[in-house]
Structure 1
Amino acid sequence: MVEKSKMDEDREGKAVDPLHYHGMIVTLLYLTASRPDLQFAICMCARYQAWPTKKHVQAVKRIFRYLRRTVNRGLWYPKDSSVALTAFADADHAGFQDTCRSTSGSV
């Protein structure tokens, strides 16, 4: 997503093909199983599949550029490791501009 900006419906923006946008979102959602760092940004973009605009496509393309730059990075957990994993969750109460609903994420 664009830094320091919040996603919104962008009713004045130029509409794009919803099927193409949906295809990009589905591809990214598949990756969240192995790349949980992407989950929040992808889910924010997925909210606008019904009426995507050029602004939303730009945000999705930014995620793809991030993937291209970080393709060789990741977390590795060897079988014999005694590493204790800890999970964190966060919520943004009423932070979604369009409906004032809460946004949550987990890592």
Structure 2
Amino acid sequence: MGQLNLFLGLQVLQKKDGIFLSQDKYVGDILKKFRYSDVRSSNTPMDKENLWGKDGTRKDVDLHLYCSMIGSLMYLTASRPDIMFAVCACARHQVTPKECHLHAVKRIF
């Protein structure tokens, strides 16, 4: 049968000291999909001081885009549990997402 290298998009690395999962290819794919390949990363997935940022306009955003981003990030949490809380917090606003919620999702990327 051979050694398992890829399973459901998860890259599997088997060593003597354990089994390691990563989704490097998937991360690259979703960054390209949402055009975030050249965006500067942040140190934390959420801003602890101002969770939803400043949004005086309360403008609606594209629901399909928002839900697609959340779904992509949810799948990524299989190998990145450190972003789980931030993704779930943003997922609560999938019915009527506003600009401030979209900015919070973009910060996770």
Task: Say whether 1:20 aligns with 2:65.
Answer: yes
Are the counterparts in 1 of residues 63 and 97 from structure 2 also a CA contact under 8 Å?
Answer: yes
SS at match of 1:51: coil
Task: Say whether 1:56 aligns with 2:101.
Answer: yes
Query: CA RMSD for the aligned pairs?
Result: 2.1
Q: Distance in 2 between matches of 1:11 and 1:32?
A: 31
Q: Distance in 2 between matches of 1:53 and 1:29?
A: 19
Give 2:29's aligned residue. Answer: none
Structure 1 residue 13: Cα displacement: 0.7
State the AA in 2 paired with 1:24: M
State the AA in 2 paired with 1:29: M
Relative to the length of structure 2, the TM-score reads 0.52
Give 2:75's aligned residue. Answer: 30
Q: Distance in 2 between matches of 1:59 and 1:35?
A: 17
Structure 1 residue 12: Cα displacement: 5.5
Structure 1 residue 25: Cα displacement: 0.1
State the AA in 1 paired with 2:102: V
State the AA in 1 paired with 2:80: R
State the AA in 1 paired with 2:62: D
Q: Distance in 2 between matches of 1:47 and 1:11?
A: 20
Are the counterparts in 1 of residues 51 and 104 from structure 2 also a CA contact under 8 Å?
Answer: no
Structure 1 residue 2: Cα displacement: 2.5
Q: Distance in 1 between matches of 2:76 and 2:91?
A: 14
- Runs (4 or more) in structure 1 with deviation over 6 Å come to none
Task: Say whether 1:42 aligns with 2:91.
Answer: no
Relative to the length of structure 1, the TM-score reads 0.53
Q: Distance in 2 between matches of 1:59 and 1:53?
A: 10
Q: Distance in 1 between matches of 2:58 and 2:89?
A: 17
Which blocks of at least 5 consecutive residues in structure 2 are unaligned?
A: 1-45
